[in-house]
Amino acid sequence: MGFLDVEADFIRNKVLPDFSWTSFQEPTAPAPLTKPVEECTVALVVTAGAYLAGSQQRFDIRNPLGDDSFRIIPSDTPAADIALSHPGYDTKRAQTDLDTVFPYQLLNGMKEVGVIGRVAPRHASFMGYVPRTERLLWDQAPQVARMLREDGVDLAILVPS
């Protein structure tokens, strides 16, 4: 029995008796870049549970159904202003090196040395524990996709936590 089987059993036994992982018959079609990475605008979409401590609500880690909302993190936010709220990992340890779960400082460094063209003005943060994914897939993710398009993002890096 693998980790995902153990986790699914836990969710079934504790929260949702009918739980099963969301799956799709066909993989997502590839979307090749239309220009070199060195010219691309890059954004992060993370499941770190990152939020702005002074102005945004924390993710709800007590809800047995998770929290399928998202938070927008401006790319110029000082690390001291970003907090983490997630039931699935030790956020205190991750907070000591934010790039382990929300590598926006690393992304800014990649821009400085010319690896990427531009850092997007905004990044998106979700909380990774969401056993009922319908609202996430059909409402929240499309909102984030629209925001990324508005920001001229060519490439979104997905960072699981």
Q: Per residue in 123-156, pLDDT tens? A: 999 998 888 888 989 999 999 999 999 999 999 9
Does residue 16 lie in a domain region? no
Instruction: Identify the domain containing residue 97 by its residue range.
Output: 37-159
In the block, which residue shows the tokens 């990324």?
Answer: 148
Query: Is 11 part of any domain?
Result: no
Residue pLDDT, tens place only, 28-86 = 898 899 999 999 999 999 999 999 999 999 999 998 888 999 999 999 999 999 999 99
Residue 140: inside a domain = yes
Q: What is the C-alpha to C-alpha distance for residues 56 and 72, in angstroms, rounded to an integer?
A: 9
Closest CA to 47 of 126, 100, 157, 143: 126
pLDDT class for 6, splitting at 50, 70, 90? Answer: low
Query: Is 136 within the bounds of a domain?
Result: yes
Instruction: Report d(CA 52, CA 152) in Å as an integer.
Output: 23
Q: What is the pLDDT of residues 69-83, one digit of tens each?
A: 999 999 999 999 999
Give dist(CA 57, CA 53) in Å, integer.
8
- Write down the pTM of the prediction: 0.89
Average pLDDT over residues 103-111: 95
Is 100 part of a structural domain of the chain? yes
Query: 14 near 64, Cβ under 8 Å?
Result: yes
pLDDT at 5 over 80: no
Strand partners for 18: none
Rounded percentage of the chain residues whose pLDDT exceeds 70 = 90
Domain count, the chain: 1
Measure Cα distances from 97 to 74, 79, 89, 91 in Å: 18, 9, 14, 10
